[in-house]
Amino acid sequence: MRSRRDFLGQHLWLKMLECERSGGTGLMQAGRDPIRDVKGAVCDGLRQIGDVSYAILPRDIAHKLADLKKAVLTELTGALHWEMEWIDHRVAGGDRLRTEWQEKCRREQTSTSGPAV
């Protein structure tokens, strides 16, 4: 009985032979992932559009615009970090209040139940 490793090794060897016979494209074609191909094409297209959008500007203006965009993004990042910290503090405050309310309810229940008659 052949092991899975032997089968995979033979399969890979056959694919390599196909690759050699087809001029070097067989193995690459067999291993292509269409999702990654589409993602790569979209990213390449967006990268090209971004490059062109700066290339049409004079060099000094392109660099100043990039610096402005980075400064705006830095401020937005700072604001987002502040907002995340604010949320963390509000959740911690909510936890504290919840605990206080639970303790208050327990005290009220024990005081209202009192001794059995």
> Tell me: the pLDDT tens digits for 41-92?
999 999 999 999 999 999 999 999 999 999 999 999 999 999 999 999 999 9
Residue that wins the pLDDT comparison between 61 and 115: 61
**Domain of 62, in residue numbers:** 33-109
pLDDT at position 73, please? 95
pLDDT at 4 over 80: no
Q: Is 64 inside a domain boundary? A: yes
Alpha helices in the chain (DSSP H): 4-21, 26-30, 34-55, 59-113
Q: Is 101 inside a domain boundary? A: yes
Rounded distance, CA 36 to CA 18, Å?
23
Q: Is 93 inside a domain boundary? A: yes
Rounded distance, CA 26 to CA 22, Å?
6
Rounded alpha-carbon distances, angstroms, from residue 5 to 8, 26, 93: 5, 22, 57
The two tokens of residue 24 are 């070097």
pLDDT at 26 over 50: no
Structural domain tally of the chain? Answer: 1
Rounded alpha-carbon distances, angstroms, from residue 17 to 12, 13, 91: 9, 6, 61
Confidence (pTM) = 0.49
Q: Is 26 inside a domain boundary? A: no
Q: Is 116 inside a domain boundary? A: no
The two tokens of residue 70 are 């980075």
Q: Is 50 inside a domain boundary? A: yes
Rounded distance, CA 27 to CA 92, Å?
56
Q: Is 25 inside a domain boundary? A: no
Residues contacting 100, CB < 8 A, separation 6+:
none
Q: Is 88 inside a domain boundary? A: yes
